[in-house]
């Protein structure tokens, strides 16, 4: 048996310790610094949609494990339908804010947003509850008086507004995203008459007749296609134009009708030579069917109606007798035969609802008082109106009206298109999906 002196043993131990230390140091130096992986959000299949819609979020370096990914809108989790390295398909949840804050989380990933859209990189959501009213809070505040409105589609919304501050401003505001955002389409004159097409073009009254390009016209370089009318009470009161802006007509305040077939040159095709008559409103069903109504209670004139069923070839000019001094304020037709009109003398007089089943030749008074000056009908039975912050509904053609919903703010306008009722209120939009 061999024995080692204590000094030799101490030397051996020091050698071993130094060797291990060098090995450990060598191992630590060989490890690379851990890098945080980045997932980039680059674009969406759509920038807005309705509750329940599927939207695809596109980018790079996504995690493909749904347990490690979350997509939230104002803190509300959305259902993830599918995942890949470059896409996340999500179902839009029900939220109140129309433009909620979008938050995407992936375990072990830093999220970089590269999306540039009108919503600061977020995704807009229009609240939808089939068979119920759904509220969407928007950035736009409807605090002005709305005189005219048009739904080209439920997402393409136009309305003529009047704002009175130090001066009176009349304009048409337009939204292409269901009311999430609005921008000015054109400045107007007195009547707020306009007509927009599916391509965002159209006509608008601004004491003259303006042709509006896609995107609107607010720079002062409007294309005037018809100048001022010199007749007494001869402003442009109602209009109708085809989608290609070639065939159209407008009616002056005293029932004179001007028509174009090339979008530029106009001829007078009807002139009853009225002096004390005021056309107040019009309704376009299609290229062939158009109605314009009014009256002038200052002179005791009966309510008056002018309409064509063949694109302006022939006109029917009627003075209506309802045994009271009144004027036509609004018209809506459901088809060439069935229509409704609202008449009243002034804001303090009863709002009478009338209906026709023969295209406007004869009218019957519905035995009720309408809640407000505005109404829309889905069919000959179901309709909606409003007063202050309450929406009323009728299921018997306007004979009786019952409270349907109480909104958070004052209601400004109500419209209907493609079985969707849309109400503009002070702080957002209410929708009812029929």
Alpha-carbon Rg of the chain, whole angstroms? 32
Select from 87, 103, 126 the last residue of a domain: 126
Output the pLDDT for position 218. Answer: 78
Give the model's confidence band at 298: pLDDT under 50 very low, under 70 low, under 90 confident, else very high: low
Residue 2 has pLDDT above 50, yes or no: no
For 16-66, how does the pLDDT look when each residue is reduced to its tens digit (9 = 90+)? 444 444 444 444 455 455 578 999 999 999 999 999 999 999 999 999 999
Judge if 156 and 119 occupy the same domain.
Answer: no
Higher pLDDT, 25 or 221: 221
In a domain, 295, yes or no: yes
Nearest-angstrom CA–CA distance, 243 and 225? 16
Higher pLDDT, 307 or 255: 307
Nearest-angstrom CA–CA distance, 388 and 170? 22
In a domain, 1, yes or no: no
Residues listed for the chain: 434
Judge if 56 and 106 occupy the same domain.
Answer: yes
Judge if 281 and 428 occupy the same domain.
Answer: yes
Give the model's confidence band at 300: pLDDT under 50 very low, under 70 low, under 90 confident, else very high: low
The token duo for 135 is 């509220």
DSSP symbol at 66: G
The token duo for 125 is 């959501």
Judge if 369 and 407 occupy the same domain.
Answer: yes
Judge if 308 and 362 occupy the same domain.
Answer: yes
In a domain, 171, yes or no: yes
Sign, CA dihedral 159-164-166-170, equals positive
By C-alpha distance, which of 198, 221, 214 is closest to 206? 221
Query: Domains in the chain: how many in total?
Result: 2
Q: How far is CA 222 from CA 130, 178, 197, 213, 235, in A?
A: 42, 26, 17, 9, 18
Least confident of 45-59, 103-117, 239-253, 339-353: 339-353
Mean pLDDT throughout 100-106? 97
Pairing of strands 375-377, 364-369: unpaired
Judge if 53 and 75 occupy the same domain.
Answer: yes
CATH code of the domain containing 321: 2.130.10.10
Judge if 223 and 195 occupy the same domain.
Answer: yes
> In this structure, how many other beta carbons lie within 10 angstroms of the beta carbon of residue 434?
12
In a domain, 76, yes or no: yes
CATH code of the domain containing 49: 2.60.40.10
Give the model's confidence band at 422: pLDDT under 50 very low, under 70 low, under 90 confident, else very high: very high
Question: What share of the chain has pLDDT > 70, as a percent?
Answer: 88
For 142-163, how does the pLDDT look when each residue is reduced to its tens digit (9 = 90+)? 667 788 899 999 999 999 888 7
Q: Identify the domain containing residue 104 by its residue range.
A: 37-126
For 393-421, how does the pLDDT look when each residue is reduced to its tens digit (9 = 90+)? 999 999 999 999 999 889 999 999 999 99
Give the model's confidence band at 433: pLDDT under 50 very low, under 70 low, under 90 confident, else very high: very high
Round the average pLDDT of the chain to a whole number and report it: 87
- Residue 26 three-state SS: helix
Model-level pTM? 0.86
Residue 392 has pLDDT above 60, yes or no: yes
In a domain, 101, yes or no: yes
Output the pLDDT for position 8. Answer: 42
With b meaning 16 or more CB within 10 Å and e meaning fewer, what string describes 144-168?
A: bebbbbbbbebbbbbbbbeeeeeee
> For residue 409, is it left (φ>0), alpha (ψ between -120 and 50) or beta?
beta
Nearest-angstrom CA–CA distance, 202 and 245? 7
Nearest-angstrom CA–CA distance, 161 and 434? 28
Residue 314 has pLDDT above 50, yes or no: yes
Segments of 116-256 assigned E as strands: 124-126, 133-137, 145-151, 157-164, 168-175, 183-187, 194-196, 202-205, 209-212, 223-226, 236-241, 248-252
Judge if 330 and 213 occupy the same domain.
Answer: yes
Give the model's confidence band at 233: pLDDT under 50 very low, under 70 low, under 90 confident, else very high: low
Select from 126, 147, 167 the last residue of a domain: 126
Judge if 218 and 364 occupy the same domain.
Answer: yes
Q: What does residue 25 show for φ and ψ, rounded to 5 degrees? A: -60, -40
Output the pLDDT for position 190. Answer: 77
Select from 75, 98, 126 the last residue of a domain: 126
- C-beta of residue 414 within 8 angstroms of C-beta of residue 423: yes
Residue 165 has pLDDT above 80, yes or no: no
Judge if 296 and 224 occupy the same domain.
Answer: yes
Judge if 114 and 167 occupy the same domain.
Answer: no
Residue-wise DSSP of 338-380: -EEEEEESSTTS--EEEEESSTTSS-EEEEEE-SSS-EEESSS
In a domain, 41, yes or no: yes
In a domain, 14, yes or no: no
Judge if 214 and 329 occupy the same domain.
Answer: yes
Residue 278 has pLDDT above 60, yes or no: yes
For 317-374, how does the pLDDT look when each residue is reduced to its tens digit (9 = 90+)? 998 888 888 889 999 999 999 999 999 887 777 889 999 999 999 999 997 777 777 8
């Amino acid at each position: 048996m061999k024995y080692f002196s204590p000094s030799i043993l101490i030397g051996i131990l020091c050698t071993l310790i130094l060797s291990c230390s060098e090995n450990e140091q060598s191992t630590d130096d060989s490890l690379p610094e851990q890098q945080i992986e980045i997932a980039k959000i680059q674009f969406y299949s759509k920038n807005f949609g309705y509750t329940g819609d599927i939207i695809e979020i596109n980018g790079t370096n996504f995690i493909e494990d749904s347990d490690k990914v979350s997509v939230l809108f104002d803190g509300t989790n959305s259902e993830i339908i599918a995942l890949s390295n470059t896409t996340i398909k999500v179902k839009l949840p029900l939220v109140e804010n129309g433009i909620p804050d979008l938050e995407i989380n992936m375990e072990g990933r830093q999220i970089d947003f590269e999306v540039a859209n009108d919503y600061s990189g977020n995704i807009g959501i229009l609240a939808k509850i089939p068979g119920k009213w759904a509220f969407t809070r928007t950035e736009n505040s409807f605090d002005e008086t709305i005189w005219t409105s048009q739904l080209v589609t439920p997402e393409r919304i136009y309305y003529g507004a009047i704002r009175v501050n130090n001066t009176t401003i009349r304009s048409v505001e337009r939204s292409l995203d269901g009311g999430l955002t609005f921008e000015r389409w054109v400045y107007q004159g007195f009547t707020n008459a306009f007509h927009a097409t599916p391509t965002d073009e159209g006509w608008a009254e601004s004491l003259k007749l303006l042709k509006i390009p896609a995107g609107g016209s607010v720079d002062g370089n409007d294309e005037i296609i018809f100048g001022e009318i010199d007749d007494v009470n001869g402003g442009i009161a109602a209009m109708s134009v085809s989608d290609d802006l070639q065939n159209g007509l407008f009616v002056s305040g005293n029932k004179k009708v001007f028509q174009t077939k090339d979008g530029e040159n106009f001829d007078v095709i009807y002139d009853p030579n009225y002096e004390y008559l005021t056309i107040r409103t019009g309704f376009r069903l299609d290229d062939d069917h158009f109605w314009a109504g009014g009256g002038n209670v200052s002179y005791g004139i009966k309510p008056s109606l002018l309409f064509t069923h063949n694109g302006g070839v022939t006109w029917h000019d009627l003075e209506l007798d309802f045994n009271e001094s009144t004027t036509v304020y609004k018209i809506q037709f459901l088809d060439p035969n069935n229509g409704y009109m609202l008449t009243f003398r002034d804001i303090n007089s009863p709002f009478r609802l009338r209906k026709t089943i023969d295209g406007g030749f004869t009218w019957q008074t519905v035995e009720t008082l309408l809640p407000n000056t505005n109404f829309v009908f889905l069919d000959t039975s179901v309709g909606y109106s409003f007063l202050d912050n309450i929406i009323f509904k009728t299921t018997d053609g306007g004979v009786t009206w019952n409270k349907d919903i109480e909104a958070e703010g004052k209601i400004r306008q109500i419209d209907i298109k493609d079985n969707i009722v849309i109400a503009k209120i002070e702080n957002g939009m209410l929708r009812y999906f029929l």
